[in-house]
Structure 1
Amino acid sequence: MLPRPWEGWGMKIKAFVALGAMAALCGCQTSNQADYMQIGYGPSFDVAHAQCEMHKGSVDQGYIAIGSPGFVAGAGIGNALGNLAAEDQYMKNCLILSGWKRAPHGQGATAAPTVAGGAPPTPYGIQRAPGSWINTALLDWSDANNKCVAGDKAACGTRAKLGAQLRAAGINPAPV
């Protein structure tokens, strides 16, 4: 009996389908500043994203699979999907620690320009983190201290008031 040229193609087709699915899944992860809004102090979005991107591979898990080619391919695809989910969660948490979070659908594009463009809302050009009155008071104290040293008497009063509030909270502000 003569060999059939189409025999053996079934496994090759499955391998190509698996590779195509992995390529499609890996290509889905895109992030840009329009998807995020600044929620606190930290680096610019580009810097924060690059730092998180460099380390996201550290959450990947390896795998060992022994069995039929289909089982090994399935285990590889399952591992790749699990790694993608872990990397996505890592990026989310890392960007939050850097002062950025995913904006509600459709609101990121309007949130980013308010922070980055126009007149800055604070002397530092970023929004104050909600609930972080200590961080805000420390930054305001530092700004008032610099102005006081330059001779602004009103800033000296602000510095004294903020210093009293911070000391009452157990923090002793000092110029850096």
Structure 2
Amino acid sequence: MRLKALMALCASAALCGCQTSNQADYVQIGYGPSFDVAHAQCEMQKGSVDQGYIAIGSPGFVAGAGIGNALGNMALEDRYMKNCLILSGWKRAPRGQGAAAAAAEAAGKSPTPYGIARAPGSWINTALLDWSDANKKCVAGDKAACATRAQLGAKLRAAGMDPSS
């Protein structure tokens, strides 16, 4: 019995040791809060995915159910952290790219995420940024930018967005 308990403890310790969450493991893929802020927000909420359990039977069965539930909860929390950080603009880095992203963030210069110069996601994000650029150029006297601003403004208003506010 002691050998089984020791093996279960070693297995759960090994699984816990695989879970890392430092900035060197992530790259910025979108616009959002810094890694520390995003990680803290996700960390505070990850316990909400934990599931309880009820086990009736022998002590070994109850212990096994508890260990199984703990492992299941660890997997749920890991998936939640991954998705929460993606929503905040951070993704687990491919091997070898996370350290460069962490160094750039520490230097105060966020890296351009995967070479994207505009906000990823909806076309509305990009259209709003393009409208803002065109508006600045139009105010400076660029006639072509005024035409672009008008076209983008019409598309955005048709989608329910008012770019001038």
- TM-score (structure 1 length as normaliser): 0.70
What is residue 48 of structure 1 aligned with on the other side?
38
**Which whole-Å CA distance do the structure 2 matches of 1:81 and 1:25 have between them?**
8
**Whole-angstrom distance in 1 between the partners of 2:25 and 2:120:** 20
Output the CA distance in 2 between the equivalents of 1:131 and 1:86. 25
Distance 2:146 2:53 in 1: 58
Q: Distance in 1 between matches of 2:111 and 2:149?
A: 19
Highest CA radius of gyration, 1 or 2?
A: 1
Change (3 A) 1:153 1:120: farther
* Counterparts of 1:65 and 1:129, CA distance in 2: 48
Alpha-carbon displacement from aligned partner over 1:36-56 (angstroms, at most 9, x marks no partner): 111112111111111111111
Q: Residues 94, 119 of structure 1: CA spacing in aligned structure 2 closer, same or farther, 3 A cutoff?
A: closer
Q: Which has the higher helix share?
A: 2
Cα offset, 1:23, TM superposition: 4.6
Alignment of 1:1-176 (within 5 A): 10=1, 15=5, 18-19=8-9, 21-113=11-103, 117=107, 127-130=117-120, 132-145=122-135, 147=136, 152-154=140-142, 157-158=144-145, 160-168=147-155, 170-171=158-159, 172-176=161-165
Distance 1:175 1:166, change over 3 A: closer
TM-score (norm 2): 0.74
d(CA) in 1 for partners of 2:49, 2:21? 19
Which stretches in structure 1 are left out of the alignment for 5+ residues? Answer: 1-9
Distance, in Å, in 1 between the alignment partners of 2:163 and 2:95 is 42
Counterpart residue number, 1:6: none
Contact 1:163-1:173 within 8 A present in 2 as well: no
Q: Cα RMSD (Å) of the superposition?
A: 3.3
Deviation (angstroms), 1:85: 0.6
SS of the aligned residue for 2:27 comes to strand
Once residues 102 and 146 of structure 2 are traced to their aligned partners in structure 1, the CA distance between those partners, rounded to angstroms, is 31
Would the alpha carbon gap of residues 120 and 55 (structure 1) be closer, same or farther in structure 2, given more than 3 Å must change? Answer: closer
